[in-house]
Structure 1
Amino acid sequence: MKRQKRDKTERAYTKGYQNGLSGRSKDICPHDELNQRQAWLTGWREGWSDHVDGYTGVSGIQKSNQHYL
């Protein structure tokens, strides 16, 4: 059975969140397409906020899965 690919905007959001949570710069956004870039930056902002609030490890991962839904 084939696995269905995830939505590209969902993936962009998740990757942005992970980069923000890691404390990386938002300038490293790899997307040029508007919707994917917007999703990545939204994820980055939320990840950065969680980074500043001290969410790390498992708590950050669990939180990232809840944000996009």
Structure 2
Amino acid sequence: DEFLPHNVSRMWSRFEAAMQERDMTLQAEVIRLDRLHRLAEKTHRDIRFNEETLAELGRKIEDTVRGLDMMHAFEAK
């Protein structure tokens, strides 16, 4: 009875609808993952930039401290 033409046609339509829903769900997930990937790349770029900025600021602070130490040593003479 389930292999009657109208049953097969109905089941085939349900199968196609399920496949279409699956494809749409997969496409939405791919888009979501792509956005997450781009966000992760941007975050990594920002982290690298901030690390470089912190390193540069650290060097400037060290230079300033050395300069102050030299000034204090000169003033002490």
TM-score between both structures, scaled by the size of structure 1: 0.33
With CA pairs under 8 Å and 6+ residues apart, which has the higher RCO, 1 or 2? 1
Higher CA-based Rg: 2
Considering fraction of residues, name the structure with more helix: 2
TM-score by length of 2: 0.30
